[in-house]
Every structure is written in structure tokens, then in C-alpha cells.
């Protein structure tokens, strides 16, 4: 009997397989912790900032829209979106980058990568069944999380190549979630950044994509100086990106369905069958460059992220030097996994505020 049949058969359940996956993800502790994990801005700085949780919900909403309009499975897109950031550390990408450096310096060649960590959360770290680890999710969901971004063939995934075939693209649903992620973080980072004065529309309106959105908002009768302008701009940006993606992906999706057997997937050397038009794709790429220079490298963000890195370093140093500082469950896991990996998993699971509190408890210092 398969694990998923332990309590019921498929015929007795009112949900399909991907709905079960979604429900298991939503009810797991790693999903709840996303509420207090940084997206770009430390969330204790203000209640308005997006967190990993709100970002995942926005990706899910956009992913479902794309899936529905392209005739794909909405629920599969939804669960991949809700799961794709479960492996993120506190303090955003800099936390994961720092943990990666620490592990590699400590002889753990595989280091740390958040997509792979999300996969590990779903298959190993979360514990909901007596006889096996993980949430017991479908192959399509796990593959969609594991292959969230291209290229898929990475050093730390070599042991999974036989099962997940890293030379193949994942499902169409997984491909659209990757783009839904891009749409979500680009639009909401502009929203957050402008609201808190870290970037202005003057920084953005030389970009052709932003000019297009700006004209849409002006045509609505909303001026650039009005408070409503920011909201209309962000909504307009999402609208332009979503509509372009749908229109530019219809042909590729239909061709994929006709040429690829239902049991097969597309070779990864073949370009993705979904994506933006050349014009919008180029504008989006240029926009992200501006955001990197003006927003993500802003002095206020750099300083907060530096503090986050010091927190990660201090926690890793303390827990690897003295295993007794770890909670009892992590100490038990030391019999099953290398110490450095147990420590990294524990740190990665922390929320920003819990990481800072633990740092303070260990060192008596406030970041």
C-alpha cells in the first residue's frame, strides 16, 4: 500500500492529488514561518512590506491566472507557487548566500541553495507521518519546486538526476510559476520601494516598459503626483506582464501539447514554450537592472542585510562549536545527518525575529 493510501483510497477522497498537495503545504509549519521571513525589506521595519508569505500568495494568484488562461492545471501551478520559497533562510537571499559560504568553508561541498532546500523541506525536513519523512507530495509538485529555475542541472542535484531527469524541462505549470514569480517580485518590490522612499518613479520612467504603464495610468486620469498613482502603476505593470505572457505563450503551449506525449517532457536544450514577447522581455530585463542599482543596492537595505549576515554567521559558529546549544530535536538528528547540515537546516527554518532573538540570547548583543 502506498503511503498516500494509508488513511483513504483516492476514490474516497473529495480532493484531487494536487489539491491534497496544496492542503499539506498550507498546513505545514514551514509555510507558516514564511510570514516572518524577509522578502527584500526586513518586515519588522514596517507592516506594509511584503514577506515570503505574502510573496508566495501573490505568485500563487498570478500563477493560477496564467494557468487558467492557458488551459493548464490551476491547482498544480498553485501548489508549486506556494511551495517554491519554503527553503529560504531568514534575511532573504543574503542569508542563503552566507549559509552557502559557511557550509562550503566547513567542507560541505554541496553548500546551500534555496530551491533545493525547498525540495528538502517537502521531502525530508517536514515530518507528518510515522514511517517516512516529508509531506508525501506528487512527483509533479516536487519536480516543479526542484526545477523552479533554469538551468536545472546543478552540482548539488546530481543524486536526483535518475529520478527527476535534470536534462528535461518540468511541467508547463512549473514553467509558468517561474514567470509568475518574476512578475510578482518585480511589481511588489517597486510598490514597497516607492512607498518607503528607497526608489522613485523618476528612476523608472526612462524604461520603455514603465513608460507604457505610465501612459496607461495617465489615460485613466490619475496624475503622477497623486497618492493613487503608485497603486495604479503596480496594477498596470502586472496587467501588462500577465497579458503579454498569456498572448505570447498560447502558441507554444498548444504546440507542446500536440508534439509531446502526455507521459514525456521537453528536452532542456529546447527553448521554453512559454514566455514574454521580445519587446516586453527586454523591457523587463532592463527594469530589473535599474532596480538592482537603485533599490536592491540602496544603502539602507545593504546595511540591514549586512546585519542579517552577521546574525547567520554568529548562529552557525555557535551551533557548530557547541552542539548542546541546539534544541533537543536537532540534537537527535545529529545521529542521522552531518552536524553542519543539521545546523544549516535549523538556521534556514528560522524567522527573522527568531534568528535575531536567538543571536541575542547567545551573544547578549542586539543587531
Query: How far is residue 231 from each of residues 60, 134, 190, 222, 224, measured CA to CA in Å?
Result: 20, 40, 10, 10, 11
Examine residue 214 and state whether it is found in any structural domain, yes or no. Answer: yes
Mean pLDDT per 10-residue interval, the chain, length 367 residues? 42 82 97 90 62 95 98 97 96 93 88 93 94 94 91 75 84 95 96 92 96 98 95 98 98 84 70 94 97 91 92 97 96 95 97 95 78
Examine residue 5 and state whether it is found in any structural domain, yes or no. Answer: no
pLDDT for 1: 34
pLDDT for 108: 78
Total count of domains within the chain: 1
Q: Where are the beta strands (DSSP E) in the chain?
A: none
CA 24 to chain centre: 18
Give Dmax over CA atoms of the chain in angstroms: 65
Examine residue 1 and state whether it is found in any structural domain, yes or no. Answer: no
Examine residue 2 and state whether it is found in any structural domain, yes or no. Answer: no
How far apart (Å, rounded) are the C-alpha atoms in residues 160 and 152?
11
Q: What residue numbers bound the domain in which 35 lies?
A: 15-363
Examine residue 162 and state whether it is found in any structural domain, yes or no. Answer: yes
CATH number (domain holding residue 223): 1.10.3210.10
Examine residue 303 and state whether it is found in any structural domain, yes or no. Answer: yes
Examine residue 139 and state whether it is found in any structural domain, yes or no. Answer: yes
Examine residue 98 and state whether it is found in any structural domain, yes or no. Answer: yes
pLDDT for 202: 93
Query: How far is residue 86 from each of residues 90, 168, 267, 324, 344, measured CA to CA in Å?
Result: 11, 23, 27, 27, 14
Taking alpha carbons only, the member of 179, 191, 243 closest to residue 212 is 243
pLDDT for 255: 87
pLDDT for 364: 86
Radius of gyration of the chain (CA): 21
pLDDT for 257: 79
pTM over 0.85? The answer is: yes
CB within 8 Å of 188: residues ≥ 6 apart: 39, 50, 54, 55, 58, 234
Amino acid at each position: 500500500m502506498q503511503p498516500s493510501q494509508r488513511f483513504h483510497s483516492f476514490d474516497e477522497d473529495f480532493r484531487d492529488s494536487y489539491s491534497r498537495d496544496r492542503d499539506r503545504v498550507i498546513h505545514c509549519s514551514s509555510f507558516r514561518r514564511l510570514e516572518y521571513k524577509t522578502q527584500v525589506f526586513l518586515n519588522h521595519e514596517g507592516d506594509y512590506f511584503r514577506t515570503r508569505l505574502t510573496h508566495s500568495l501573490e505568485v500563487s494568484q498570478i500563477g493560477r491566472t496564467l494557468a487558467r488562461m492557458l488551459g493548464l492545471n490551476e491547482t498544480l501551478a498553485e501548489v508549486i507557487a506556494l511551495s517554491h520559497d519554503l527553503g529560504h533562510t531568514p534575511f532573504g537571499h543574503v542569508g542563503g548566500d552566507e549559509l552557502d559560504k559557511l557550509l562550503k568553508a566547513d567542507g560541505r561541498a554541496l553548500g546551500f541553495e534555496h530551491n533545493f532546500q525547498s525540495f528538502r523541506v517537502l521531502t525530508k525536513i517536514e515530518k507528518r507521518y510515522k514511517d517516512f519523512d516529508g509531506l508525501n507530495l506528487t512527483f509533479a509538485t516536487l519536480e516543479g519546486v526542484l526545477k523552479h529555475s533554469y538551468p536545472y542541472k546543478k552540482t548539488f542535484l546530481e543524486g536526483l538526476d535518475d529520478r527527476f531527469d535534470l536534462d528535461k524541462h518540468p511541467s508547463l505549470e512549473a514553467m509558468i510559476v517561474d514567470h509568475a514569480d518574476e512578475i510578482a517580485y518585480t511589481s511588489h518590490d517597486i510598490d514597497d520601494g516607492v512607498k518607503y522612499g528607497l526608489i522613485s518613479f523618476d528612476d523608472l520612467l526612462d524604461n520603455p516598459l514603465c513608460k507604457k504603464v505610465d501612459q496607461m495610468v495617465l489615460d485613466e486620469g490619475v496624475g503622477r503626483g497623486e497618492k493613487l498613482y503608485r497603486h495604479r502603476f503596480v496594477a498596470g505593470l502586472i496587467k501588462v506582464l500577465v497579458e503579454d505572457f498569456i498572448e505570447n505563450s498560447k502558441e507554444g503551449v498548444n504546440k507542446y501539447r500536440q508534439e509531446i506525449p502526455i507521459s514525456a517532457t521537453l528536452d532542456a536544450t529546447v527553448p521554453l514554450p512559454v514566455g514574454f514577447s521580445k519587446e516586453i522581455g527586454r523591457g523587463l530585463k532592463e527594469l530589473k537592472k535599474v532596480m538592482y542599482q537603485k533599490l536592491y543596492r540602496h544603502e539602507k537595505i545593504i546595511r540591514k542585510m549586512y546585519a542579517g549576515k552577521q546574525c547567520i554567521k554568529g548562529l552557525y559558529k555557535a551551533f557548530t562549536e557547541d552542539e548542546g546549544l541546539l534544541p533537543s530535536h536537532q540534537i537527535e538528528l545529529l545521529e542521522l545527518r552531518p552536524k553542519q547540515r543539521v545546523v544549516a537546516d535549523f538556521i534556514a527554518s528560522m524567522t527573522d525575529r527568531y534568528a535575531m532573538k536567538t543571536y541575542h540570547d547567545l551573544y547578549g548583543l542586539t543587531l
